[in-house]
A and B are shown apart, each in its own frame.
Chain A
Amino acid sequence: MTQTIAKKNESVKHLPRLTTVSNDRLSKQKVVYQVEGFNLWYDETHALKDIELSVYDREITAIIGPSGCGKSTFLKSLNRMVELIPSVKTSGDISYQGNRILDKHFKVEQLRTKVGMVFQKPNPFPKSIYENIAYGPKIHGIKNKKILNQIVERSLRDAYLWDEVKDRLNENAYGLSGGQQQRLCIARALAIEPEVILMDEPTSALDPVSTSKIEELIQELKSKYSIVIVTHNMQQAARISDRTAFFLNGEIIEFDLTESLFSNPSDQRTEDYITGRFG
C-alpha cells in the first residue's frame, strides 16, 4: 500500500489499534474469496489492475470509490457475470472456498448457485411474486409444491417482505414498489440459500425509507451470509460494513477494517475521497 508522508503521524498512531482489532477479528475469520493479482480488460481498457483482496466469512465487505473506478466490474468478476461482455479478458487468480473460479473447466452455474447477486436496479422476472422466488429452487430441481411453498414463505420472511405480500403472492411482481421489488430480488437470491450475496448499489435507485429498510435487512443477513456490497454512498459503507475497499481508477488504494479506513485512512487519496474532496 502507498504510504503518504504527510499522513505519517496518524498512520503510526492508528497502527497499534489496527493490530488489536485485527487480533480480535481477523484470526477467527475464514476466508471466502481470495483475490490475487487480478487484472481485467475490456478490449484495450485496463479496468482492474492487480487487485488483491480477501472476503471473510459472515462479514459485510463494502466497495467504495468514484463512478467508473471498476466497482461493478470487480463485483461481477466474483460470480463471473462479467464474462457476458465478450470483449472481457482477465489474468490473475480468484479463489472461492479454495477453488480457482477463473479456470476454464470451472462450472460457473455451480459458483452462481453458491453466490447470489442483487443488482443496482431491481430486476424481478415478469412473473408472479411466488414464481419469482420459486424460480431458483425450481431450476435446481426442487419440484415438490409443499417444499416450494415453504421456501417462498421463508425467503420472503427473511427479506422482511412477507407481511406486505402474503395476500398477493400470485400477482405480478411488477405491481410492487421499487423498494419492495428490490427486497423481492434479495428474497429471490436467498431462496437458493447461497453462501455469499453480491450487491451492486442495491439502494441507489430507492427512496430513503426503502434504503434504510434494506440497510437493516443487510445487517440482519450478516449472521447467515457473507456479503459484498458496492456503494457510492460512503455513509452507507461506514454504517453497515465490517471492511471497506477503496477503489480508484481500477486499483485498490486501501483495504481495511471499516472503522480504521474511515477514522484513520492510511492513504491521502482515501482521505480526500472520504472527506468529499473528489468523487
Chain B
Amino acid sequence: MDHNVNQESINVQELIQQKSMSQKVSHKIGKMIPSILFLFAAVSILTTVGIIYTLLSEAIEFFKIVPIWEFFSSTTLKPLSQNPEFGILPLINGTIISSIIAILVAGPVGLMAAVYLSEYASDRVRRLLKPTLEVLAGIPTVVYGFFAFTFVTPIIRSVWPDVEATNILSPGIVMGIMIIPMIASLSEDALTSVPNTIREGALSLGATKLETTFKVVIPAALSGVIASFVLAISRAIGETMIVTIASGSSKNFTFDITESMQTMTAYIVEVSSGDAAAGTPIYYSIYAVAIALFVMTFVMNLLARAISRRFREEY
C-alpha cells in the first residue's frame, strides 16, 4: 500500500458506500440475469413446441384424407400405387424388428464390455479402451450403412444364402454394433457407481469375483443398466442411414428377417428425397409417420427416466 496516504483519511464504510452507488446499475443487470437465462432455456423448449406444432398441423391434414384408425391398423402401405393405401404397421414392424436385432447384439456385448471395464480391467487398460469406445460412437452413421451393405450383408449371405441383398438382419446387427459404446459406457458408469464396500461385503462371505459381479454388483446397478438399454433402443428406433442404405425399401408386412423391410425413418427419407408434391397424401403421410416416431422415442426416453428414478439405489 502507498504509505503516503494519510491513514486517518481512509474510511472503509465510506468507500463501500461509494462503491455501492456505482454498483446500482450492475445490480439491476444482476436482477435480470435469471430472466435472460430463462429466455435461453425457453428457446429450446419453444423449438420443440414448434416442431410438434408443425408435425401435428400437417398430420391433421393427412388424417382428413386417410382415417386415423385405418392408418394405425392397416398392414398395407402402397403410397405410390394408383389407389394408394396408407397403413403404418409395416413401418412400425420394420422399426421394431431392426431395433430388437440391434439390442440383441448390443445388450449382451455392451454389458459384458461394461463389466470388463468396471470390474476386471486394470487402470491402464481402462484408460486405453474407454476413448476407443468413444471413437466408435463418433463414426458417422452413413459409414455404418455402407459397412452393413458392402461388408456385413455379403458375409451373412455367404453362410446363409436365403438372405436377400437388402435385408433387415444386416442393418439390425450393424445398428447393434453402433449402440454398443452407448450401452457399454452408460452401464459402466452404473457399475462403477456401486460402492466398493458392497463388493467387499460379498467377497467377505466367500463369494468369488464372478458371483460378486453377477449376483451383487449388476443387480445393484440394474436400474442404470436397463436405462442404458432403453436409451440405446430409442437411439436404434431413430436411426436412419443404416436401414435406408442396407435394408431397401420394401413395404411388406413380414417377420422374415432375411427380407427387405422399411423402417419409419427410412420411409421419411425415401418420400422426402423423392418428388412428392406438397399437398398430396403421400407428402402429408411423412408427417403422420414422424408423429408416430416422435411418440415412440419420447415414450422410450420417459421410460428410461422413470426406470432410473424408480429403482435408484441410495448407497
Tell me, in angstroms, the Cα distance from A113 to B202 when the chains sit together. 11
Q: Which of A112, A123, A192 contacts B198 (CB 8 A)?
A: A123
With A119-B201, A139-B215 known to touch, is A174 a contact of B206 (CB < 8 Å)? Answer: no
Answer yes or no: B38 CB below 8 A from chain A CBs: no
Please tell me if the beta carbons of A81 and B200 are within 8 angstroms of each other in the complex. yes
Answer yes or no: A121 CB below 8 A from chain B CBs: yes
CB distance from A86 to the nearest CB of B (A): 8
Please tell me if the beta carbons of A125 and B198 are within 8 angstroms of each other in the complex. yes
B207: chain A residues within 8 A (beta carbon) = 109, 136, 139
Tell me, in angstroms, the Cα distance from A227 to B315 when the chains sit together. 28
With A135-B215, A139-B206 known to touch, is A123 a contact of B313 (CB < 8 Å)? Answer: no
Please tell me if the beta carbons of B314 and A127 are within 8 angstroms of each other in the complex. no
Please tell me if the beta carbons of A125 and B205 are within 8 angstroms of each other in the complex. no
Q: Mark B193-210, 1 if CB is under 8 A from A, else 0.
A: 001011011111111100
Tell me, in angstroms, the Cα distance from A111 to B203 when the chains sit together. 11
With A126-B220, A126-B313, A174-B314 known to touch, is A189 a contact of B198 (CB < 8 Å)? Answer: no
Answer yes or no: B219 CB below 8 A from chain A CBs: yes
A140: chain B residues within 8 A (beta carbon) = 206
With A125-B216, A127-B219, A174-B314 known to touch, is A139 a contact of B205 (CB < 8 Å)? Answer: yes
**Residues of B within 8 A of A (CB-CB), count:** 21
Tell me, in angstroms, the Cα distance from A110 to B205 when the chains sit together. 10
Which residues of chain A from 157 to 191 have a CB within 8 Å of any chain B CB?
Answer: 174, 185, 188-189
From B201, B202, B204, residue with most partner A Cβ within 10 Å:
B204
Tell me, in angstroms, the Cα distance from A84 to B199 when the chains sit together. 10
From B203, B208, B211, B216, residue with most partner A Cβ within 10 Å:
B203
Please tell me if the beta carbons of A123 and B197 are within 8 angstroms of each other in the complex. yes
From B195, B201, B206, B315, residue with most partner A Cβ within 10 Å:
B206
Please tell me if the beta carbons of B201 and A192 are within 8 angstroms of each other in the complex. no
With A109-B206, A116-B205, A140-B206 known to touch, is A126 a contact of B315 (CB < 8 Å)? Answer: yes
B206: chain A residues within 8 A (beta carbon) = 109-113, 136, 139-140, 192
Please tell me if the beta carbons of A126 and B198 are within 8 angstroms of each other in the complex. yes
**Residues of A within 8 A of B (CB-CB), count:** 28
Please tell me if the beta carbons of A81 and B197 are within 8 angstroms of each other in the complex. no
Please tell me if the beta carbons of A123 and B203 are within 8 angstroms of each other in the complex. no
From A109, A124, A174, residue with most partner B Cβ within 10 Å:
A109
Please tell me if the beta carbons of A119 and B197 are within 8 angstroms of each other in the complex. yes
Which residues of chain A from 90 to 124 have a CB within 8 Å of any chain B CB?
Answer: 109-113, 116-117, 119, 121, 123-124
Specify the chain A residue showing the minimal Cβ separation from B205. A136
Tell me, in angstroms, the Cα distance from A78 to B150 when the chains sit together. 59
CB distance from B88 to the nearest CB of A (A): 42
CB distance from A23 to the nearest CB of B (A): 36
A116: chain B residues within 8 A (beta carbon) = 204-205
Tell me, in angstroms, the Cα distance from A39 to B130 when the chains sit together. 37
Specify the chain B residue showing the minimal Cβ separation from A121. B197
B314: chain A residues within 8 A (beta carbon) = 174
Q: Mark A41-74, 1 if CB is under 8 A from B, else 0.
A: 0000000000000000000000000000000000
Tell me, in angstroms, the Cα distance from A124 to B315 when the chains sit together. 9
Specify the chain A residue showing the minimal Cβ separation from B311. A126
Specify the chain A residue showing the minimal Cβ separation from B220. A126
Specify the chain B residue showing the minimal Cβ separation from A131. B219
Residues of A in contact with B (beta carbons under 8 Å apart): 79, 81, 84, 86, 109-113, 116-117, 119, 121, 123-127, 135-136, 138-140, 174, 185, 188-189, 192
Q: A109-B206, A112-B205 are in contact. List 20 more A-B contacts (CB 8 A).
A: A81-B203, A84-B200, A109-B207, A110-B206, A119-B200, A119-B204, A123-B200, A124-B201, A126-B198, A126-B315, A135-B205, A135-B215, A136-B206, A136-B207, A138-B215, A139-B205, A139-B211, A139-B215, A174-B313, A188-B205
Some 13 contacts from A to B, beta carbons below 8 A apart, are: A86-B122, A112-B206, A117-B200, A119-B200, A123-B195, A123-B201, A125-B202, A125-B220, A126-B219, A135-B205, A139-B202, A139-B211, A140-B206
